[in-house]
Structure 1
Amino acid sequence: MIKVSIPSFRQVVVEDERPYTAYKTVITISGRSHSVEKRYSEYHALHKQLKKTIQTPEFPPKRVRNWGSKVLEQRRQGLETYLQSLMEQDILPKSLLLFLQISNLPSRSLSYDSLNDLDGENGVTHQPMLTYEEDPYLTTSTEDGLPDIISEGVKQGLYHDTVEANPH
């Protein structure tokens, strides 16, 4: 499951440009977190793009009367609610995942427009390491060279059998 939050914002002043507000977005997947910083205009561009392919939640208004900290806090909360609503979708669009800089997701939890885009042809993320055709400790043969007492002890320890050892 992916959790998103926008815990803070800050004013960014760059030479020869107008100051702007950057919103810190924290993305948490399976206990691991990373963050991205985006301007409101980037969130708005994402919203316009997503509207073409999915039903989107309400987006915070573009126009504001003043730029006080109270208004910016309301916008932060609105963006956070918007992102959290998007994350509840059954299928997460590739553009949203790219926007949040998310990659290498488990195929069962998300759709990446196509699972093939995410991890190859069939969505398998692991390979079997070791398999047995039968449990070697359940065979009655002692051809492996182990005395009966060892085999019986292993059976008893693993399977809680009440097996009597053969007195020889």
Structure 2
Amino acid sequence: MENAGYPVNADYLASCRFQPHVEVDEKLWGKRLDWYRKWVTGTNESDAYWNTGLWGLLKEIPSRVKVPVYIGEGWYDHHLGSAIETYRRLSDECKKKSRFLIGAWDHNFNVAVEGHQGEHFENDDVLRAFYWFYQLLVEEKEPQGSVDTYIIGDDSREVFCSRGRITEKMS
């Protein structure tokens, strides 16, 4: 709705529930948006929509990255799938120096773990990212690549790196 290019005053949840969804632009938002209709009807990864223009370029970029990257994500973020796919597409050389962190957060990095007990839901991803970039850019230390995931319900994390798989209880 925020990408419509004009103010949309429709209810967000009503827009999410609208059926058939391809018509929500005209029926609730007031204008036909051809780009939106292509986006919501292009449901197959092999569709031309996802493999040409901007989307095609975005799919190619990770494999061309040569510098270390830091990807911070949350299990409850609607972009998690894209972040995983981005990390997966990095070259092996790039992964050796990159960090991929997945925590117990939503898109806004708010804790989103209902019904689970734990003491380590805090999100310090901004500080982790800062520290990672500080080591890389200021201290000029080459980072060690890792995938660091928070284990919901266990209040622990698993780290996959060149030393292998490490599971540690957080304290």
Larger Rg: 1
- TM-score normalised by length of structure 2: 0.25
